[in-house]
């Protein structure tokens, strides 16, 4: 069956034909593709078209598609059983790697998604502090948990959907939203609500309004102000964890949050999330403490095995310098091509994450990210797709470079991108 035939059938059976909104390609005004195979840094659709892939399953595939070490680990785990519902050795192995790699994590709890991780972290913070308010940043997406789906980025930003349909006003009102990178706004919020703020949750490098790095000193400021007011600092490293360095963004910037949320790379392509922190914090979770959280498939042996193989490979290879070099080459080369064409743009990148914004403004928060020309982005996306380059079908998402992107792949991608830009 072709892309069109499969999607036509999907429309009868799935809301919008998809199981996650951005996959419908509505923001780029074109027919979605259906992927049937991935190998290395390339994917193939149902029509047989090949693409150099910078979507990377929205970030998890830092080793590329069908990494031999991950596939082999999964095969071995599958042969032993798909699920047990009780503790298995892979959980302990993956926990040991997480604690070894993430500076601030002494104890970790596995869940099945990034949304579960942030939801559970918020509950834990409220349980420990006995406070009700959560402070988050405009444009930062932390999953579809009620308290956090307020002024979110990602698909919510793409479609311009209000942050709270289906969410009671009473719940939405417990979330304080301020601009990303604004110390003044955070300070004002703490002056007004400080004694009732349970936590601040932040993407240390925003990835769901497009890539937006923190201003110098901003994360340190958050660390200080939360300590001073008895609030907890939560780093949502679902995207940045194990991507920007072995220890994620917190290692890169030298900041220890109270709670860290993880996902994506942690599962090596399988559905996995986690939250962790110091022992005294995590000991408040059942069965040790009073804050309840559970999951039938949490710690699934197949998913854990994929995570172990992925993290061990990252530890052994330490690919982060090469990843950043390739991302820098890609970013600077695209910038040159767009400049030569006379197209206004900004390209933000940190490590192996990047976003092309079509705006003259410096992009440092959600307001400036929204100044990007989304109609031009849609044309850019379609031109790239036609030439065989796959990027996220949304202006407000990150591109990802993997260890499977070798120099020759970057060069070939840039040749295709040059053709696409020529046709804009």
- Catalytic site positions: 141, 236, 264
Length of the chain: 424
What burial letters (b/e) apply to 44-78, b meaning 16+ CB within 10 Å? Answer: bbbeeeebbbbbbebbbbbbbbebebbeebbeebe
Please tell me whether residue 391 adopts helix, strand or coil conformation: coil
Residues contacting residue 398 through CB under 8 Å, at least 6 positions apart = 59, 207, 208, 210, 211, 239, 353, 354, 355, 392
Per-residue 3-state assignment (H helix, E strand, C coil) for 79-138: HHCCCCCCCCHHHHHHHHHHHHHCCCCCEEEEECCHHHHHHHHHHHHHHHHCCCEEEEEC
Which DSSP string corresponds to 138-191? Answer: TT----S-TTT-SS--HHHHHHT--S-TTS-HHHHTTEEEE-TT-HHHHHHHHH
């Amino acid at each position: 069956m072709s892309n069109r035939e499969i999607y036509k059938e999907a429309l009868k059976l799935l809301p919008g034909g998809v199981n996650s909104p951005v996959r419908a390609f509505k923001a780029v005004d074109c027919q979605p593709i259906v992927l049937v195979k991935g190998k290395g840094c390339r994917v193939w659709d149902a029509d047989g078209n090949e693409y150099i892939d910078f979507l990377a399953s929205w970030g998890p595939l830092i080793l590329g598609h069908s990494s031999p070490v991950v596939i082999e680990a999964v095969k071995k785990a599958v042969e032993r059983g798909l699920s047990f519902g009780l503790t298995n050795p892979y959980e302990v192995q993956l926990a040991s790697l997480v604690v070894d790699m993430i500076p601030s994590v002494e104890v970790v709890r596995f869940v099945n998604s990034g949304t579960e991780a942030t939801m559970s972290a918020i509950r834990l913070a409220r349980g420990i502090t006995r406070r009700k308010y959560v402070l988050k940043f405009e444009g930062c997406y932390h999953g579809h948990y009620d308290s956090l789906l307020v002024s979110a980025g990602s698909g919510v930003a793409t479609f311009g959907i209000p942050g709270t349909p289906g969410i009671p006003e009473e719940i939405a009102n417990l979330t304080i939203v301020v601009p990303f990178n604004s110390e003044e706004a955070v300070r004002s919020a703490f002056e007004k609500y400080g004694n009732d703020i349970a936590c601040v949750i932040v993407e240390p490098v925003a990835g769901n309004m497009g890539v937006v790095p923190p201003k110098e000193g901003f994360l340190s400021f958050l660390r200080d102000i939360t300590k001073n007011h008895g609030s907890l600092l939560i780093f949502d490293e679902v995207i940045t964890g194990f991507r920007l360095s072995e220890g994620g963004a917190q290692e890169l910037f030298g900041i220890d949050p109270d709670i860290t949320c993880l996902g994506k790379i942690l599962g090596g392509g399988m559905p996995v999330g986690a939250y962790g922190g110091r022992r005294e914090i995590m000991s408040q979770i059942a069965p040790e403490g009073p804050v309840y959280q559970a999951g039938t498939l949490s710690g699934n042996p197949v998913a854990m095995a994929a995570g172990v193989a992925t993290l061990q490979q990252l530890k052994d290879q330490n690919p982060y310098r090469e990843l950043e070099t390739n991302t820098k080459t890609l970013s600077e080369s695209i910038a040159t091509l767009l400049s030569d064409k006379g197209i206004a743009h900004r390209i933000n990148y940190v490590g192996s994450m990047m976003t092309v914004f079509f705006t003259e403004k410096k992009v440092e928060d959600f307001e400036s990210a929204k100044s990007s020309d989304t109609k031009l982005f849609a044309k850019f996306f379609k031109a790239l797709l036609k030439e065989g380059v796959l990027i996220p079908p949304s202006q407000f998402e990150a591109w990802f470079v993997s260890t499977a992107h070798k120099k020759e792949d970057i060069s070939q991608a840039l040749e295709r991108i040059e053709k696409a830009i020529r046709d804009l």
